[in-house]
Amino acid sequence: MKVCVYAIAKNEEKFARRWLDSMSEADGIFVLDTGSADNTVALLKEGGASVEQKVFTPFRFDRARNASLEMVPQDTDVCVCTDLDEVFRHGWRAGLERAFTGGAEQVYYRYTWDFLPSGAPGHTFWLNNAHARRGFVWKHPVHEVICTADGRVPRSAFAPDVQLDHLADAGKSRAQYLPLLQLSVQEDPEDDRNAHYLGREYLFYGRYDEAIAELLRHLSLKKAVWKDERAASMRYIARSFKFKGDRAQAEIWYLRAVAEAPHLREPLVETAQFYLEEKNWHGACFFALKALAITRRSMSYISEPDAWGWAPYDCLAVALYYLGDKAGALQNARLALRAAPDNRRLQKNLEMIKGG
């Protein structure tokens, strides 16, 4: 198979060499630079990439990615879109080739969005940015997705032995995301995914009334049927009410999130944490134990590392301590700290329980 990587870039000189080295298993590397003012273009060309430059005014990710895809030769069998702050682990090409051999048009592989302070993977999920050369386009101004041009569902496969890691620049601005999400929803108001993302973005900005309104709209859409994302919208509504000081409404929405997706730890853990804040120790114990009873972690982007690490044990430790179960509190405080050994609050909790 002929395998090519394509990307967009702007002011990525600090990542260019690392990225090129990671992508070196490809037959061709194609980059559309969207206006770098640093040494990105020179470094990419020096490393063997084919580079073109085009500035988009106004900028939107789908147009830029579609223009970068156009750079890839038509005789390519497998196209892989990555960003310059991402790196494949060695052997990725062979893994993708195996997955495409059975006639797949699009392949999912493991993606780690961030890493914990310990170096362990944080948010990890399946990504599907590997696809056939023909018949695919990028859609949406931001949080863009690769999809078939005619809207049909492509034949897909999984490459479980392929791993892409996101090693991001924490200082990079997200300022353009909110206006682009607003544009995306304006262009396609019935798209459930972007309604969810816009509501979440309003929450990030502390615009709680707008967050609640957009997340409620998300839940009302006919296409909004994925339980995991619906439960996340409910949790974000709960957070918004909590930050507004309406804890009664927050409790209602946390419980709705639990009921919407009882197969997920995330709503259970956040509800347990809410009850800790309420000093409802029995409620915190109940939901933390329910969370720990779930042992299969989702590989969607909804999965949150804290829910699968220290958080449920921490809830149990604190609640059991105040309920008078020192042995249970001590056991769970140790498990919480084992999952996050550098967490100073967990260290202090363990010392307090030992001395209590």
119 & 188 share domain: no
Average pLDDT, the chain: 96
In 10 A of CB 206, how many CB atoms? 10
Tens-digit pLDDT profile for residues 285-328: 999 999 999 999 998 999 999 999 999 999 999 999 999 999 99
Tens-digit pLDDT profile for residues 184-211: 999 999 999 999 999 999 999 999 999 9
| Residue 172 confidence (pLDDT) above 80 | no
Structural domain containing residue 345: 264-356
In the chain, what is the greatest distance between 2 CA atoms, to the nearest angstrom? Answer: 70
Q: What is the pLDDT of residue 167?
A: 95
19: CATH: 3.90.550.10
| Residue 171 confidence (pLDDT) above 80 | no
Final residue belonging to a domain, choices 139, 166, 193: 166
For the chain, the C-alpha Rg in angstroms (whole number) is 23
The pTM is what?
0.92
Name the helix (H) or strand (E) containing 131. Answer: strand 124-131
72 & 212 share domain: no
| Residue 225 confidence (pLDDT) above 90 | yes
Q: List all residues 6 or more positions away from 19 whose beta carbon is below 8 Å from its beta carbon.
A: 7, 12, 82, 84, 85, 86, 87
| Residue 173 confidence (pLDDT) above 80 | no
Please report which residue ranges of 77-176 form alpha helices under DSSP H: 92-100
301 & 222 share domain: no
Q: List all residues 6 or more positions away from 135 whose beta carbon is below 8 Å from its beta carbon.
A: 105, 148, 149, 150, 154
pLDDT band at 175 (very low <50, low <70, confident <90, very high): confident
